[in-house]
């Protein structure tokens, strides 16, 4: 079974992201070359593209103005260098405002029995330039972008059963990630306002179990069991909430330079009905916002002690 998304380094100066997309190659290529379509999916979770201009011909220019969840505008652009319909796109890529960020982007589309293997290569001139792009979340941003592309092509099949929140936290991602890794940290901020936690077990590793009891302000106890299914240090935590209502939680940590972190939280429920129940009975949407508020406040305390 092929991985859905994979990141590799082809050369010392390359960042390569591959994803197998469940859609025909012609549709995937169109979504990368038609402005109205690309504007719907390009960029990490939580971003929109108010401006998307594509002059799709060799020598033509492209330009995107992206609006982040923090309200800031990020500008990108470049020139098309090579176009082979349904097979390959080569363009220059410049992130305005980031020194030495100009790179070469190579998109390759390979048919896989009706599905499409997309390989996205960002080729920098030097190791230092690659490291600079990595500090601004180039790898994870690309991974999320092409996950959004697949969702767009499939008609957003999960949109009616998921909750998303994105927050830029004024702290390095290593510190934000650390707040998730130890019981003494997470018990201080997990859950909505007014809740406290007793952690009975926390095995922070792939396949590990996390068992806790959340104590509500009204005195009620809420036992919760999670299983960690994927941990990439300082980048991603995925865990399965095994107690009803059941859902999958994904935390993505995207660096914003050296001292800020864009945190994306995605809750994917078993069905639209389960999500509706979680919102109506457990106020999951309100609780999620309060939870991230508490995390942000706690990370600031951690930062002040360092």
pLDDT digits (tens, 9 = 90+) for 212-238: 999 999 999 999 999 999 999 999 999
- Percent of the chain at pLDDT above 90? 79
Q: What distances in angstroms separate CA 281 from CA 54, 154, 162, 215, 265, one per listed residue? A: 46, 30, 16, 16, 21
* pLDDT-wise least confident of 58-62, 98-102, 274-278: 98-102
Asked if the model's pLDDT at residue 91 lies above 90, the reply is: yes
Q: How confident is the model at residue 1 (pLDDT cuts 50, 70, 90)?
A: very low
Structural contact between residues 126 and 13, judged by C-beta atoms closer than 8 angstroms: yes
Q: What ranges make up the beta strands (E) of the chain?
A: 5-8, 14-21, 48-54, 61-67, 73-84, 88-95, 103-112, 115-123, 162-169, 196-202, 209-215, 221-232, 236-241, 247-255, 261-269
The CATH H-level superfamily of 5-153 is: START domain (3.30.530.20)
Structural contact between residues 59 and 79, judged by C-beta atoms closer than 8 angstroms: yes
Q: How confident is the model at residue 278 (pLDDT cuts 50, 70, 90)?
A: very high
Phi–psi pair at 246, nearest 5 degrees: -85, 140
* pLDDT-wise least confident of 166-170, 202-206, 291-295: 166-170
Angle, CA 119 vertex, CA 257 and CA 2 arms, to 5°: 110
Maximum average pLDDT range among 10-14, 43-47, 192-196: 192-196
Residue 185 has a CB neighbour count (10 Å cut-off) of 16
Q: What are the residue boundaries of the structural domains of the chain, listed by start?
A: 5-153, 161-305
pLDDT of residue 100: 60
Asked if the model's pLDDT at residue 2 lies above 70, the reply is: no
Asked if the model's pLDDT at residue 133 lies above 90, the reply is: no
Q: Classify domain 161-305 at the CATH topology level.
A: Alpha-D-Glucose-1,6-Bisphosphate; Chain A, domain 4 (3.30.530)
- 0.85 surpassed by pTM: no
Maximum average pLDDT range among 8-12, 66-70, 213-217, 280-284: 213-217
Would 5-153 and 161-305 be classified into the same CATH topology? yes
The distance in angstroms from the start CA to the end CA of the chain is 44
Q: What distances in angstroms separate CA 75 from CA 55, 286, 289, one per listed residue? A: 16, 32, 28
């Amino acid at each position: 079974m092929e991985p859905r998304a994979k990141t590799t380094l082809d050369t010392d100066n390359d960042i390569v992201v591959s994803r197998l997309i469940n859609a025909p190659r012609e549709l995937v290529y169109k979504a990368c070359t038609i402005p109205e379509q690309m504007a719907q999916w390009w960029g990490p979770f939580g971003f929109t593209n108010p401006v998307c201009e594509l002059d799709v011909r060799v020598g033509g220019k492209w330009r995107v103005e992206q609006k982040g969840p923090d309200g800031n505008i990020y500008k990108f652009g470049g020139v098309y260098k090579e176009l082979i319909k349904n097979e390959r796109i080569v363009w220059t890529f410049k992130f305005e405002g980031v020194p030495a960020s100009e790179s070469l982007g190579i998109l390759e589309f390979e048919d896989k029995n009706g599905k499409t293997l997309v390989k996205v290569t960002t080729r920098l001139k030097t190791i230092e330039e690659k490291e600079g792009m990595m500090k601004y979340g180039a790898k994870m941003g690309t991974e999320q972008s092409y996950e959004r592309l697949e969702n767009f092509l499939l008609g957003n099949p999960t949109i009616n059963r998921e909750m998303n929140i994105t927050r830029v936290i004024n702290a390095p991602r290593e510190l934000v990630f650390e707040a998730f890794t130890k019981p003494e940290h997470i018990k201080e901020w997990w859950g909505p306002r007014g809740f406290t936690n007793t952690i009975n077990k926390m095995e922070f590793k792939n396949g590990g179990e996390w068992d806790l009891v959340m104590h509500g302000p009204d005195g009620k106890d809420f036992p919760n069991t999670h299983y960690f299914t994927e941990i990439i240090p300082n980048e991603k935590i995925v865990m399965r909430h095994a107690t009803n209502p059941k859902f999958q939680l994904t935390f993505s940590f995207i660096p914003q330079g050296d001292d800020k972190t864009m945190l994306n939280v995605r809750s994917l429920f078993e069905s639209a009905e389960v999500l509706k129940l979680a919102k109506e009975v457990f106020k999951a949407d309100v609780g999620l916002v309060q939870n991230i508020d508490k995390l942000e406040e706690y990370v600031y305390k951690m930062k002040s002690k360092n």
